[in-house]
Amino acid sequence: MMVTSEEKEFSAHTRNVSASGILFELDRPLPVGLNIQFSLVMPSAVLGTPRDILVRCSGRVVRCSMYQSYYLAAATIDYYQFAEQ
């Protein structure tokens, strides 16, 4: 997954998703308050739909800390839009 902010892109792995936020694993810290954009693929098995659904999201970083050898960044999901696939 890619997380973008202004002209920067960061490679990230999703650790957890809720209705209002997401937790990313990254190799670098993200500053608190940073506005970000990212896309999620919601599995059809979870949603009960015939196919996976792409969701484009925007939010902001609310917390970031070092954990073992990587960073965990928590962000809000302030806006989302289902994308056609």
Per-residue tens of pLDDT for the chain, all 85 residues: 899 998 899 999 999 999 889 999 999 999 999 999 999 998 889 888 899 999 999 999 999 999 999 999 999 999 999 986 5
Quick one: pLDDT at residue 46? 84
DSSP code per residue over the chain = -EEEETTEEEEEEEEEE-SSEEEEEESS---TT-EEEEEEEEPHHHHTSSS-EEEEEEEEEEEEEEETTEEEEEEE--EEEEEP-
Superfamily (CATH) of domain 2-83: predicted glycosyltransferase like domains (2.40.10.220)
Quick one: pLDDT at residue 19? 85
